[in-house]
Structure 1
């Protein structure tokens, strides 16, 4: 788009549908590539007792994966992936559509692109996508967390509907000291149980998505100069992979402590089903268990997952946009 071109053509229904398809496909392909690593990382972050002995090292991630494969085969490595795909397609579709729209609103011309606006566009799009798809994320985490030995009485391979029913049937998601009005609210609207850890997810999404899209835009501007003044960079699949990988690595480093706390709160219904884990007590529990390092448990496998996932996600997104003439 030229410096004086109007982004109005990007606000048509046809554009929204094609942009959503491009983002959804990109998210599903990227998540499928790293699905086994994602299962292991969730087990590490949530301190699953069956796999804590493997946490803390690069080799431990592969040994944990080998143990899962030995116990339950490939199906175990992909446990929860069906819920992942159900969540990722709308999540990625909403995120990339929202990013395109917010980007055009904040930066209609290349001359108006700044790092602050890039960060804001990424943070806003990430927040919007989390708001609409968080219940699916919680169900997916519950499916991936449960193992035969650690969750007595629960099926070793929980189904999507089974995990959803379990969350719905859990006890009141508030401490006994909570105000009566708040307790009544959760009693009246039990679907709010599907938003365990939502607050910290939003807090963590701002630095993650903001940093990812900031890095993406900054590197593309400096490494992929446009062919003509005032036009956007087109790039190549290899360049998209490399820039996407760097974007993911930086975003993961900045936001990882929030992700650890979020995982602990999400599985709180399994470890402490009679109450709602609060943000403050969860942070204190992570600190008392491992100090500062506790907030970075599983970070090595996080890099193993996020770097290729972001690389594939951005590359497929750009490839789909070229294919769909976006």
Structure 2
């Protein structure tokens, strides 16, 4: 299952894989953030929150729990009543300017770039390691590698998520104050307190990752065989990513709803009611991310070949 990816992985360094995944995260966040800004405006309109409340802010690649005191952030402002997605899109541009559609980009990039770099690099490295082990169960490789890489990236980044949320509560928090907060929390509750919310994130993201990578490798292999390609084209990666992301989003929707309820304390949502908005978000995000990542790997692979041929 993992053989198409391995064509590039064997010729890449870990740094090159990390650069390709970071570029993918940046490009994906840039395209998907306007959808999230509109979605959270509509959400805030129907579920206005008080001081100290939070709501889920998603880039499609990952979900962030965004909390704030007051209305200082652009996606919290409500310039009139929005009748729907198109109405919100038009009003936000007309009243606040087009830049407001990217108001959520900085907090997304702070978490998306390091998480994605760890996640995608680990996935490819694990696929390579598992492929070289004895046994003929290659169809299990994407499931195992996808699960372990997501488990690892979530575990590594979880304390950063806690710190980021704290910084959003207090905009002018100095590094000294931040260090004092973390050290006080550790002294009072222990080091494990820095991983608060880790369990609910893992329960949702690990099954999603396993399903996503298994289906992605299946679709990619099938489409490559259909067109006679040795490695995936941009279109093949894009289509496979969108399809596998949609399937994984639908199947893991109950886990996402449970995590959303726990983070936001908004219990009105229902599983079926929120499937369509999530798929609309996840499908393009997965498609853009995986296609740009595969393109980046292909670019570095060919660059390395040329360098080796002409030292």
TM-score in terms of structure 2 length: 0.67
Q: Aligned ranges for residues 4-15 of structure 1 at < 5 Å?
A: 10=10, 15=13
Kindly state the Cα deviation for residue 44 of structure 1 after the two structures are TM-superposed: 6.5
Residue 248 of structure 2 corresponds to 251
Kindly state the Cα deviation for residue 15 of structure 1 after the two structures are TM-superposed: 0.9
Residue 323 of structure 1 corresponds to 299
Q: 2:42 touches 2:84 (CA, 8 Å); kept in 1?
A: no
Does 1:218 pair with 2:218? yes
Kindly state the Cα deviation for residue 19 of structure 1 after the two structures are TM-superposed: 0.9
Q: Distance in 1 between matches of 2:198 and 2:220?
A: 32
Partner SS state of residue 199, structure 1 = helix
* Greater mean deviation of Cα atoms: 90-99 or 63-72: 63-72
Kindly state the Cα deviation for residue 236 of structure 1 after the two structures are TM-superposed: 0.9
| Structure 1: gaps of 5 or more residues | 52-58, 147-153, 173-183, 268-281
Q: 1:26 touches 1:314 (CA, 8 Å); kept in 2?
A: yes
Aligned residues between the structures? 266
Q: 1:19 touches 1:97 (CA, 8 Å); kept in 2?
A: yes
Which one of 26, 29, 36 corresponds to residue 24 of structure 2? 26
Q: Aligned ranges for residues 98-117 of structure 1 at < 5 Å?
A: 98-108=122-132, 112=136, 114-117=138-141
Kindly state the Cα deviation for residue 201 of structure 1 after the two structures are TM-superposed: 0.5
Residue 274 of structure 1 corresponds to none
Q: Distance in 2 between matches of 1:45 and 1:258?
A: 20
Does 1:306 pair with 2:305? no
Residue 60 of structure 1 corresponds to 84
Kindly state the Cα deviation for residue 246 of structure 1 after the two structures are TM-superposed: 0.6
Kindly state the Cα deviation for residue 63 of structure 1 after the two structures are TM-superposed: 3.9
| Structure 2: gaps of 5 or more residues | 50-74, 76-82, 303-311
CA RMSD of aligned residues (A): 4.4
Q: Aligned ranges for residues 133-148 of structure 1 at < 5 Å?
A: 133-137=157-161
Which one of 97, 114, 119 corresponds to residue 121 of structure 2? 97
Partner SS state of residue 225, structure 1 = helix
Kindly state the Cα deviation for residue 86 of structure 1 after the two structures are TM-superposed: 1.9
Does 1:265 pair with 2:262? yes
- Please give the per-residue CA displacement for 1:138-164, whole angstroms capped at 9, x wherever unaligned: 677789xx9xxxxxxx7xxx85969xx
Q: Distance in 1 between matches of 2:172 and 2:236?
A: 37
- Please give the per-residue CA displacement for 1:244-269, whole angstroms capped at 9, x wherever unaligned: 111111121122332333334345xx
Residue 58 of structure 2 corresponds to none
Kindly state the Cα deviation for residue 117 of structure 1 after the two structures are TM-superposed: 2.8
Q: 1:81 touches 1:140 (CA, 8 Å); kept in 2?
A: no
Q: 1:44 touches 1:297 (CA, 8 Å); kept in 2?
A: no
- Please give the per-residue CA displacement for 1:191-224, whole angstroms capped at 9, x wherever unaligned: 935x442211111111111111111111122221
Q: Distance in 1 between matches of 2:197 and 2:98?
A: 29
Q: Distance in 2 between matches of 1:94 and 1:135?
A: 15
Kindly state the Cα deviation for residue 18 of structure 1 after the two structures are TM-superposed: 0.8
